[in-house]
Amino acid sequence: MLPPKENIVLRKEELDFIAEMRFEAYPELDSEDMRLDLRGGGSSSVLLEGLKLSNKLQIQAYYHNYKFIFPLSIGQNEFGQFHMDLKSPEILELGSHVRHWRHKPVQPLIGRSKTENNQFSLDEISITGFCLNLPSARAPESLELELTLPDGEIVEIAAHKVRPTTRKKTAYKMTFLDTKGENLRAFLYSQLLLQR
């Protein structure tokens, strides 16, 4: 089904260019992220130049009961060739309620308090929140944690208590205090791939 005409922001020649783009993946890249080269010239370069300036580009993909939202950016190399960089996706679980996919690690992740000499055991985690192995009555209202991922990366997060999930667990909503949210997204994506 086509979107209403008033919602179409690309001209016909731009849509034709997108339909003809060729993508080449580079599996030898060390990064888990993917880079794609975009081949095009003439008026297509104007479109790519405009897309390069956008900070809201993304690719959405569906697989079984998951929706993946890959942040992407368009850059240029020293020869003026455009490339598209895909980052690790945000993972949504589809069902009666759409929610961020939650990973339940075999060994709980450890978050160390930034303000006190405490550490907390995170039993489930998504890109937007986690569950602590603490009953709600003992769980702090807010936290600032240094979360250590299995690869040793530390992600700094702030969290606020949302609700008890069981008698022994409490759910928190979180935001990132540093720029390493990408590391958590990459970790979650790798864990989902291991379950396939």
The one-digit pLDDT tens for each residue of the chain (196 residues) are 444 444 445 556 655 655 555 444 444 434 444 544 455 555 555 555 555 555 577 888 888 889 999 888 777 778 777 777 788 899 999 989 899 999 999 888 999 998 888 899 898 999 999 999 888 888 899 999 999 999 889 999 999 999 988 888 999 999 999 888 889 999 999 999 888 6
Kindly state whether residues 109 and 182 are assigned to the same domain: yes
Domain total of the chain? 2
Q: Residue 12 falls within a domain, yes or no? A: yes
Asked if 52 and 119 sit in the same domain, the reply is no
pTM over 0.95: no
Same domain, 77 and 12: yes
- Show which of 87, 117, 139 is a domain's final residue: 87
Range of the domain at 173: 102-194
Instruction: Examine the domain organization and report whether 115 and 187 are in the same domain.
Output: yes
Residue 117 and residue 156 share a domain: yes
Distance of CA 127 to CAs 4, 66, 98, 173, 176, Å? 33, 14, 14, 9, 10
Q: Residue 13: phi, psi to the nearest 5? A: -65, -30
Distance between CA atoms of 161 and 100, rounded to whole angstroms? 17
Q: Is residue 94 part of a domain?
A: no
* Same domain assignment for residues 81 and 119: no
* 113 and 175 in a common domain: yes
Residue 111: half-sphere exposure toward Cβ, Cα within 13 Å: 25
Which two structure tokens, joined as six digits, stand for 15? 């849509």
Alpha carbon distance, N-terminus to C-terminus of the chain: 32
189 and 106 housed in the same domain: yes
Pair (122, 49) in one structural domain: no
Amino acid code (one letter) for 170 = T
